[in-house]
Structure 1
Amino acid sequence: MDTNLALYVGRMALETALLISAPLLITCLVTGVVLTLFQAVTSIRDMTLTIVPKLVAMGLVTLLFGNWM
């Protein structure tokens, strides 16, 4: 195997992994930021408030984009 071919295959694998995981990562990031702002405004410090909505949001995104991923 040529070095250039190995680098190309590795790069394509990383790009594919990024495209597949992007919807879930972006959803988790946006949900986390919104929940952090909500907690800062309301002074609520409950870990359940951050975990459960993220899981629900990621589940919904998986249902919506599951065929694409």
Structure 2
Amino acid sequence: MFTSVSLMSLLRSLVLDLDLDLELDLELDLELDLELDLDLELELFWSMSAIWILPLPRVARTLVLELCLLLV
């Protein structure tokens, strides 16, 4: 039979374990969300840059692309 002290310690360990699991899950979810958001923003940036870069002459287009590569 459980004493009140052992029951309380068991409950504390369960609560701590639950807190750790929740924190880890939240951190992992946030990291995944951030990575997905960053990937989407980069794709949007590159697709938007292609719209204004196409009408430029070939030399200017090459220079702009080289500058973009230097920034990355």
Q: Between Structure 1 and Structure 2, whose CA radius of gyration is higher?
A: 2
Which has more helix, going by share of residues? 2
Larger RCO (CA within 8 A; separation ≥ 6): 1
Name the TM-score, length of structure 2 as normaliser. 0.39
Name the TM-score, length of structure 1 as normaliser. 0.40
